[in-house]
Structure 1
């Protein structure tokens, strides 16, 4: 009888673990797995997506067993988990569409939870925050131009009617936020995490804000924002600064923060909301737009945290609300956008893949795989897991926001009319 050594036992064990896990996960569609030893396994019911994967080495199989959330992305990027039929998004759909939860049904789950909890304790101080932002947002600006809309809105769009384009949905997002902020002419606005400047410029050009101060930790975004403000002739009303929110001083009628809170981290929530309260006037309004989760508190996907957004964390409302209450802020409205970000990410992913050859000229094959994986993982989180977007409206007093939501639709209609007038002026 042929002797089976330790490596052979580990290989057979990994095959059994993966087969058991894929049997539980894949109910609809077809997944074909070829192991490093050349053995084929098929899972599913022959409907839906048809995906074939192949492991190039036995160590890759065991790695996926021990830490699937981290290793799925790593093995795909490294070319050790080869998708021979279908796409990485198709694979994620097969694994997630029927369990509607986390891809973490393999051994050592409790140990990974403990390790991830310990990693969350590191506070994102100013220096760490700037490094984390630079890791993602200070990439070559030409990359973002290839897949974002023309305004470079790098956050969830708002699909307010069917068949809307990405550009229209991103404009609708700015309109929706501006309506909730109730910006009036002459108001001062602080934009925390101002990105490429689109939100701040909209509040000045369309909503009529008297002064907008946008702050960012990205040098690339800062330079682009200042160029845009100059080109629009708004340098007297819109200023962008390289600044951490903890260093901001002044008093503002309105505060807006879009797609920034995900980088704050739970240890800094109290400081964040206390700072916002101190900067907001007594009759002011704040709108916080952030990715979050509708389930229970749980660390962000470790592959995303390691390679894409270091220091990031997706909050649940139960993590945010105590810090809001302790800061003395009042929650005046909460809206939860569900599939809006899935549609946004689908558009980004399709545009990215359409321009993949151009991305390859900027970076390399590994980067292209990494970003395809990032966009696919993010889209799958909003389609088949519990990722959502929270829009939380805050105030210091309970009488500064109208009693009903009717004002939102009225203001959106007025803003849409103002957009048309601004378009005519700039033509």
Structure 2
């Protein structure tokens, strides 16, 4: 790597092997800011065009740094900064004031055209499942829905709740693959709600796939045979896990099954990356498996199956980033150059987290009694075979236009 400082000095880092990454710092203030607080300021300076990639891209730089540094490069000021951030994030996650809707709107109520730039045709904004390896993004997102549905095991005419229903793709897949299924999807995003309802209406599913602007904490008076949550648990906040699973216990039928699909980390970290917290997902937190299972068990629920998907989100994010960068002009036209670089940094940094920081996806199957699921895992593959047969006859998804 070639690093050119604000004063014009160029330093070569590494042994010279591999592709060259050339970086230039535009001014001394940017250089000093990154030295003081790299977790936040590197992304900010890249957004502002003051941390400049002259060769290679931002992912190349982040990956190179990660592979050639250790956490031992850490001084007292950085430690104090991290402790302060941990304390603030822990406090905010436990505050009784409900900022969930505001936090969701910060990200998911951005222009629909932005997400159309890089998502698949079904608007799946969560980790795809690359089974078999090497398939494209569209196929992998279908495989993700298939894998989840196979574990959820919905039966005809059952009631299903999706907590965090996105743009409606999972709910519609479940409804179309199982006769008579009644699906309720809840979201806090008004933009996602609008699009979900329009999509369900166009596919003739509005009578049994309904979407509501609803906080899961305020959902009462109903029981569901199946509950699914994909990519939403990361937004619950570490201080609210106990209440989340208590609500699941309240809503799930005694013979019901839940499937929780969430990003996870190898051990607790207590706080979210500063850049992600400030610009992308306010008050989000990625748990470890242990941080998930303890409140689940305390709520009186049973863990029936846990599966780790290690690198699938890295592959997903690579597809998203390449699609997004390929349509840079459209992204800049929607917002501006600074916004484009912010999202490029977010996608690149997230991919790096899954490739080099050991983040992964956890899929946890949850019940209230041990007889609600089979006592072997053969049924998952068997159900997936049946779902592939359904997919072969499913009408193609309509391209959503604006």
TM-score w.r.t. structure 2 length?
0.95
Residues 144-191 of structure 1, C-alpha deviation per residue, up to 9 Å, x if partnerless?
Answer: 111000000000000001321100000000000000001111111000
Is 1:270–1:326's contact at 8 Å kept on the other side of the alignment? yes
Count of residues in correspondence between the two structures: 395
Q: Take 1:425 and 1:98, find their aligned partners in 2: how far apart are those partners?
A: 45
Task: Structure 1: state its 5+ residue gaps.
Answer: 1-30
C-alpha distance in structure 2 between counterparts of 1:409 and 1:395, whole Å: 20
Q: Which residue of 2 aligns with 1:212?
A: 183
**1:247 and 2:194 aligned:** no
Q: Is the 8 A contact 1:145 1:152 kept in 2?
A: yes
Which has the higher mean CA deviation after the structures are superposed, 114-123 or 349-358? Answer: 114-123
| SS of match in other structure, 1:158 | coil
Which residue, out of 166, 169, 178, partners 1:198?
169
Give secondary structure in 2 for the equivalent of 1:122. Answer: helix
* Structure 2, unpaired ranges of 5+: none
User: What's the C-alpha RMSD, in Å, of the aligned pairs?
Assistant: 1.7
The offset of 1:345, in angstroms, is: 0.3
* Residue 80 of structure 2, aligned match among 99, 104, 111: 111
1:324-366 deviations in whole A, cap 9, x for unaligned? 1110011111111111000000000000011111111111010
Query: Secondary structure of the residue that 1:148 maps to in structure 2?
Result: coil
Partner in structure 2 of residue 284 of structure 1: 256
Q: Secondary structure at the match of 1:423?
A: coil
State how 1:148-187 maps to structure 2 within 5 Å: 148-187=119-158
Larger gyration radius, structure 1 or structure 2: 1
Aligned to 1:223: 194
Is 1:96–2:61 an aligned residue pair? Answer: no
SS at match of 1:164: coil
Segment drifting more, 159-168 vs 291-300: 291-300
Secondary structure in 1 aligned to 2:11?
strand
Aligned-partner SS, 1:161: coil
**Residue 35 of structure 2: which of 41, 47, 65 is its match?**
65
> Residue 21 of structure 1 aligns with which residue?
none
Is 2:98 aligned against 1:122? Answer: no
Structure 1 position 58, deviation (Å): 1.6
State how far apart, in whole Å, the 2-side matches of 1:103 and 1:74 are: 24
